[in-house]
Structure 1
Amino acid sequence: MPMVEKVMLEANDLARYFDVSRPALQRLIAREPRRTLRAVDGVSFTIPKGQTLSLVGESGCGKSTVARLVVGLYPPSDGTVAFDNQPLSVARADPAQRQRMQMIFQDPYASLNPRWRVRDIIAEPIRAFKLVDGKDAILARVGQLLTQVGLAPADGEKFPHEFSGGQRQRISIARALSSNPEFLVCDEPTSALDVSVQAQILNLMKELQRSLGLTYLFISHNLAVVRQVSDRVGVMYLGRIVEQAPAETLFTTPRHPYTRALMEAIPDLDMTGRTRIPVGGEVPSPISPPSGCAFHPRCPLANDRCKAERPLAQPAGESLVACHAVEEGRG
């Protein structure tokens, strides 16, 4: 009998809308209705314990909003999030559950308090959750964490401005690990770093996942990064997941036309001479998204059904694909 994977996080029809209307008086004078930005518009996924799900897509597709929803920084407008089979609102209200979930932010220059020494930055979650008693024990734990991420215990005496970008991101990882979490949300943790440093941070995160049994939700627009770290990948377009698949399946046999377009943007280092078909048009506004499939204005396979009916995710081999063309065999 096959083992059933334990689900660490489950999102079901998750949505987040923002009211971007002008002030009421201006709207009244101009006789215009309220304007709603649909940042996340019905996203569903599960992340098994110990695995990595990555969300990829163009800027503005809703990836970072999903990250903030699953750690409780934004309340959902619709849908649900469950953490270890508990509703997220219940889990966030319990300090013992809350410490199991942490977030690594995109910009290591903005996410660390410049007025605090590194030892205090890393020790803050330890003190907040009362994980260790006594100043000496806390400093010893901070030293262990710094060593774990490839820094020296003596670095705890320094301030953030004394470190490079990659070192600052290591400090951010040490702070995230200080509460002994099981689930980490990584919001583009390497995008502000140059390529050689990116590789070091990714290798560190993979090693920490193996040694500590961590579960990751990894947000990125860099397909090369995603391929390196992911067990499964979700491709987002205009607030929706259009394709989910195991990482290697997605890169070797992409099904959705948008996923294929992303793959076409990857440089052909092997110089195979394959024909590239660039995607025309621009990303529509999430304030007034197209009817039906949001990708249809740019899709070479679109027909009248695509313009009128929103596609639902359907199995296609090992993938889940929200595309009428794939469902009908037009792809």
Structure 2
Amino acid sequence: MSDARFIEALDIARYFDVSRPLVQRLIAREGRRTLKAVDGVSFTIPKGTTLSLVGESGCGKSTIARMMVGLYRPTRGEVVFDGRDLAEARGQAAQRRRMQMIFQDPYASLNPRWRVRDIVAEPIRAFHIARGDEVMERVGEALTQVGLSPLDGQKFPHEFSGGQRQRISIARALSSSPEFLVCDEPTSALDVSVQAQILNLMKELQQRLGLTYLFISHNLAVVRQVSDRIGVMYLGRIVENAPSEVLFGAPRHPYTRALMEAIPDLEMTGRIRVPVGGEVPSPIDPPSGCPFHPRCPLANDRCRAVRPEMLAAGATLVACHAVEEGREAQR
């Protein structure tokens, strides 16, 4: 498998049954209800690069994150890790140790009863990477990599700030020497100044260790710092996938443009902003056709009836009838 196709998601979907209990459904004469958290997503992450997924809360980003490390099985589709189906790869410890996940909340993802040394050592022991004194040596190396001291291993999580706790989470993830890290909003619970420190740390670690990242965020300003490509998600699907600078320089999908207009204009250029109207539809009962059409200023009858497919537009992949027909220039 070439490094250009190190991680692949092939038309993956994940559905959840959210039906009421059987007796209540019989009384109400209603059928089963299915929540389509992810509904047909495909992408590729070359080795040593970062793909970021952005979008509003509830669009399916975290569900994809969990599927990419095997915590959820896809309802449909396939995740391929270094040329092998993830379901097969996860069955072997040698393959499982090659991927790790950094969770969103550093206050909830660390066991408060464990000392930091034991938290960071857990993957080392679980995968039988080292024994005896060598375990603590590796723990010290992992803590040093993220800017902490080996002596911090004696402390408990409550003795650290939020940014330091997230560094501990990163050290835990790195302790098994993984190649692929899924980062599920790793900075969203942190102050802005601390966010920058963590992002800089992750970029430095990627360059030094050759890591591959899937970075999940709802903040476009954050992902611009760390991304090679950005996928914009809406209601369980990727609507635009482009190189980072291309996306920020020339966004194509109307939803991407709406997200761009929500970024604060620090230079005070005076440009006119057009806020997106309406509410995000329910993934239990999504609209027909393009899921964004109820909120889209460019929607027409085709958008309401036919779901758009992902098509190439230069370096960008975009699922939009308006872009395909050249109507986005009307905006």
What TM-score, normalized to structure 1?
Answer: 0.98
Q: For 1:32, give the aligned amino acid.
A: E
The aligned counterpart of 2:86 is: 88
Give distance in 1, aligned partners of 2:134 and 2:267. Answer: 53
The aligned counterpart of 1:282 is: 279
1:198 maps to which of 195, 199, 210: 195
The aligned counterpart of 1:218 is: 215
What TM-score, normalized to structure 2?
Answer: 0.98
The aligned counterpart of 1:188 is: 185
The aligned counterpart of 2:68 is: 70
Aligned residue for 1:40, secondary structure, equals strand
Aligned residue for 2:42, secondary structure, equals strand
Q: For 2:98, give the aligned amino acid.
A: R
Fraction of identical pairs, as percent: 80
The aligned counterpart of 2:146 is: 149
CA positional deviation for 1:6: 3.0
Give distance in 2, aligned partners of 1:202 and 1:31. Answer: 51
2:253 maps to which of 237, 256, 261: 256
1:158 maps to which of 155, 164, 177: 155
The alignment yields a C-alpha RMSD, in angstroms, of 0.7
| Over 6 Å off, 4+ runs | none
The aligned counterpart of 2:265 is: 268
Give distance in 2, aligned partners of 1:7 and 1:120. Answer: 35
Give distance in 2, aligned partners of 1:8 and 1:177. Answer: 19
Q: For 1:133, give the aligned amino acid.
A: R
Structure 1 gap ranges (5+): none
CA positional deviation for 1:137: 1.2
Give distance in 1, aligned partners of 2:136 and 2:314. Answer: 51
Q: For 2:12, give the aligned amino acid.
A: L
CA positional deviation for 1:268: 1.1
1:125 maps to which of 115, 123, 128: 123
Q: For 2:201, give the aligned amino acid.
A: L
Give distance in 2, aligned partners of 1:86 and 1:306. Answer: 37
Give distance in 1, aligned partners of 2:65 and 2:86. Answer: 13
Give distance in 2, aligned partners of 1:224 and 1:299. Answer: 23
Give distance in 1, aligned partners of 2:3 and 2:270. Answer: 42
The aligned counterpart of 2:295 is: 298
CA positional deviation for 1:261: 0.2
CA positional deviation for 1:140: 1.2
CA positional deviation for 1:5: 4.4
Structure 2 gap ranges (5+): none
Give distance in 2, aligned partners of 1:167 and 1:272. Answer: 37
Q: For 1:63, give the aligned amino acid.
A: K
Give distance in 2, aligned partners of 1:153 and 1:161. Answer: 17
